[in-house]
Amino acid sequence: MNLIGNVIWLIFGGFFAFLGYMVSGLLMCLTIIGIPFGLQCFKIGLFTLMPFGSQVRDVPGPTGCLATIFNIIWIFTGGLWVALNHLFWGFMLAITIIGIPFARQHFKLMSLTFAPFGKEIY
């Protein structure tokens, strides 16, 4: 069932979202300061490629205050708008019965794109 969901997801926009996150990650990695943010874009992009069957969880252990500082910078430099975009599409898809599984994936992506530092995908 996850395979079918991922294929439908890719056909109806998931692949283009993946490409967008990968291009953003490459552009962010051009500067040394942007490398941690580019790596997070790659992580989100890979999650966007196949969200069905994947889960986001907090990293256990001490991540320190650096993850918090990076999340705050992330939120103010576009993370809030990306999360609101996923929230919007999640609500739009939740209106229809067929769109509910895809809405759930957008809500998972919203939680990841709002604060990606200190989270992992499994």
In sequence order, the β-bridge partners of residue 120 are 57
For the chain, what are the domain ranges? 2-121
Residues 6+ apart with CB under 8 A from 56: 47, 108, 111, 112, 119, 120, 121
Q: Identify the pLDDT of residue 122.
A: 87
pTM score of the predicted model = 0.88
Q: Two tokens at 64?
A: 């320190």
Q: What is the pLDDT of residues 71-101, one digit of tens each?
A: 999 999 889 999 999 999 999 999 999 999 9
SS3 state at 31: coil
Q: Does the structure show a pLDDT above 90 at 35?
A: yes
Q: Give the Cα-Cα-Cα angle 54, 58, 60 (nearest 5 degrees).
A: 120
State the pLDDT at residue 65: 83
